[in-house]
């Protein structure tokens, strides 16, 4: 049995050259439509079903009246159009689903970045508080030493560029 499948990109398509006596009824030389799948087995089953319908029509059309012929041709055309519409809808739904997954991944990545920023800000805040507490403790220690009665008085000396990097306690001789 002939295969009516053609692979275009990653999707199988159905293609059947119509017998001479059906061409004028269909107003075309061949019937072709996307099967909307990349699965060869599924595409083959769909193609055989479509081919069977057309060959069934070919065998029975000889015994039909003109009116019956036209009704049967119209019904088959409508089925092919509906088949194509269903395939187009499936493809649209697959694209929409893939886009939704992509958006979900992007949102997840965004949420992860926001969480990392929050963690970084928390660590920076904790470091700043720890630095302030250690500076506060150094000042308390220097004041306590001065209160004990030692002659040396505490003084603060800024170190680093622009005098803003750190504080060093020293003793003033006097």
36-78, pLDDT tens digit by residue? 788 899 888 888 888 888 888 778 877 888 888 888 888 887 8
Give the pLDDT of residue 147.
67
Q: How far apart are the first and last CA of the chain?
A: 112
Q: Where are the domains of the chain?
A: 5-102, 114-172
Torsion of CA 32, 37, 41, 43, to 10 degrees: -20
- Give the residue, 5 or 161, on which the prediction is more confident: 5
pLDDT band at residue 164 under the 50/70/90 scheme: very low
- Is the distance from CB of 54 to CB of 18 less than 8 angstroms? yes
pLDDT at 155 over 60: no
Give the pLDDT of residue 158.
47
Give the pLDDT of residue 163.
45
- Give the residue, 24 or 15, on which the prediction is more confident: 15
73-88, pLDDT tens digit by residue? 888 878 777 777 777 7
119-153, pLDDT tens digit by residue? 999 989 888 888 888 888 877 777 777 666 554 44
Give the pLDDT of residue 148.
65
Give the pLDDT of residue 68.
86
Give the pLDDT of residue 146.
67
Give the pLDDT of residue 1.
46
- Is the distance from CB of 168 to CB of 157 less than 8 angstroms? yes
> What integer best gives the mean pLDDT of the chain?
78
């Amino acid at each position: 049995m002939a295969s009516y499948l053609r692979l275009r990109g990653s999707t199988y398509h159905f293609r059947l050259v119509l017998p001479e006596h059906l061409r004028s009824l269909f107003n075309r030389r061949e019937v072709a439509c996307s099967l909307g799948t990349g699965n060869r087995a599924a595409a083959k089953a769909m193609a055989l079903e479509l081919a069977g319908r057309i060959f069934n029509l070919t065998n029975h059309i000889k015994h039909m009246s003109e009116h019956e012929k036209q009704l049967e041709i119209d019904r088959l055309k409508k089925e092919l159009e509906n088949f194509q519409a269903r395939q187009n809808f499936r493809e649209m739904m697959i694209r929409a689903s893939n886009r939704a997954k992509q958006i979900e991944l992007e949102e997840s990545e965004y949420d992860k970045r926001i969480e990392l920023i929050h963690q970084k800000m928390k660590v920076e805040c904790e470091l700043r508080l720890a630095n302030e507490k250690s500076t506060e403790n150094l000042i308390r220690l220097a004041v306590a030493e001065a209160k004990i009665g030692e002659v040396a008085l505490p003084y603060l000396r800024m170190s680093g560029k622009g005098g803003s990097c750190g504080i060093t306690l020293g003793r003033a001789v006097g």
